Amino acid sequence: MKKQPSLSERFNISDSDINRFWSKVNKDGPTPVHVPHLGSCWIFSGGKTRDGYGAFYLNGRNHPAHRVAFVMQKGRIDEGVIVMHDCDNPECVRHLSAGTQADNLADMRAKGRQRYCGPKKPMTGDLHWSKNPKNKDALRSLNEKVRQARINHPELFIRGEKCHFAKLSEADVLSIRSRALAGEKRALMAVEYGVSVTVIGNVITRRSWKHID
């Protein structure tokens, strides 16, 4: 069986690519509160995946920004190697280390970030069972299991500020709702908290952060 090339062998990173990458990085990011000795995160401000990871377009396709950063700093990523975030911030391209999938899962368990290994919400869009007729029964069953799990065992789902990618705290949520009642505009609060107007609206209407009164 032919050995798979390393990430550094699968694409060439030119000087212009390197400059373009670092032009999208903010080195004055937040310091992770649980590991402050690491210093501030370097936040990738370019494209994002649906999971919050940076996405950098290179050689005709998007690559995870943290993996590109690791290659530029360390030279290569061999087959089977996972690039982990020591700071638990998916947007960060600074606090990176190499490990295996087993290392990554062990780190998640140690930090309390793995309570439920299934989807956090029912499959929607192209993943919805109606769009996948061949797997309709399996996907519909999975949707129902996730829905019932959220109802019957909410303690198994990480939510609120315990999520490592949460941008708001419980105190922020209470403040936003109070200020909204006082008539403050959502757009102004969105700028202040560094989130979208939609996020602010979901907090106010309790579509998100429902567990905070």
pLDDT of residue 26: 94
Residue whose structure tokens are 């919050």: 52
Domain segments of the chain as ranges: 7-110, 125-156, 167-205
Q: How do residues 61-114 score in pLDDT, each as one tens digit?
A: 889 999 999 988 887 887 788 899 988 888 999 999 988 877 777 766 566 554
pLDDT of residue 209: 87
Count CA within 13 A, CB hemisphere, residue 22. 11
Instruction: Give SS3 for 52.
Output: coil
Distance (Å, rounded) from C-alpha 88 to C-alpha 209? 21
CATH fit for domain 7-110, picks 3.40.630, 3.90.75, 3.30.70, 1.10.3470: 3.90.75
Contacts of 186 (CB under 8 A, 6+ apart): 180, 197, 200, 201, 204
Distance (Å, rounded) from C-alpha 190 to C-alpha 195? 5
pLDDT of residue 10: 53
pLDDT of residue 134: 59
Query: And the tokens for 160?
Result: 């609120």
pLDDT of residue 166: 76
pLDDT of residue 33: 81
The amino acid occupying position 87 is: C
pLDDT digit string (tens) for the chain, length 213 residues? 444 444 544 557 888 999 999 999 999 999 988 788 999 999 999 988 877 899 999 888 889 999 999 988 887 887 788 899 988 888 999 999 988 877 777 766 566 554 443 444 445 555 554 555 555 666 566 667 666 766 666 655 666 776 666 788 889 999 999 999 999 999 999 999 888 999 999 999 998 888 887
Say if residues 152 and 162 touch (Cβ distance below 8 Å). Answer: no
Contacts of 18 (CB under 8 A, 6+ apart): 72
Buried b (16+ CB within 10 A) or exposed e, 16-53: ebeeebeeebeeebeebeeeeeeebbbbbebeeeeeeb
